[in-house]
Chain A
């Protein structure tokens, strides 16, 4: 079956611009996660959704970052006033919904802020 998909695969933007990154989870998965991976580092947690609500947003670095999941399926990560330090690969993952479950990751969106 289809895995987690993310669009775009690459995004180049200029400092100060607004960007949106999209994640399509595996059908039926109620839990959705966003992580950020900088070069040479492991992924770092940003936010977790259970259904439509953000159950844990403790990893969002500041108020320029915001994520939504209005219908409990597709999620969008929104970054305002981008900075060069936001450049990273943004990974999305989904899981069926229980704590025991594996998280299934998408291929990521590589964001470059010039």
Chain B
């Protein structure tokens, strides 16, 4: 059974700092991996999608990497802003399945 773990569970940083969020998964037979953002009381917004054949994806200040063999992904946020405050969720899609398996998320607070 696929398990997804995110570390840390919560993170508080001052504005302007670069930061890294970690995600690990137990079954390396994944099809793709997604990072989502969730604001309180809201649904999920997809940030980056990495196919299993890719090593990284970038969007603006965000960069996500994938090391499938070691079962790890990182989300790098450059020059953090208070508007980045949210919960960040990592999810993997297993090969041959359509469902996403999520971690519990990292709650990020960026202090002005």
Contacts and interface: CB of A to CB of B under 8 A. Distances in A.
A59 interface: yes
B44 to A, nearest CB: 4
A111 interface: no
B104 A40 contact: yes
Interface string B68-102: 00000000000000000000010101000111111
A55 B89 CA distance: 25
Interface string B1-45: 000100000000000000000000000000110101000001111
Contact of B43 (A33, A50, A59, A108): A108
Main SS class of interface, B: strand
A112 B54 CA distance: 41
Contacts of B42: 107-108
Interface of A: 4, 31, 33, 35, 40-45, 48, 50, 55-56, 58-59, 91, 93, 99-100, 102-108
**What 5 A-B pairs have minimum CB-CB distances, sorted nearest first?**
A42-B102, A45-B99, A105-B44, A105-B43, A107-B43
Interface of B: 4, 31-32, 34, 36, 42-46, 49, 51, 89, 91, 93, 97-105
Given A55-B98, A56-B99, 17 more contacts: A31-B98, A35-B100, A42-B89, A43-B44, A43-B89, A91-B43, A100-B51, A102-B34, A102-B49, A103-B34, A103-B46, A105-B36, A105-B44, A105-B45, A106-B43, A107-B42, A107-B43
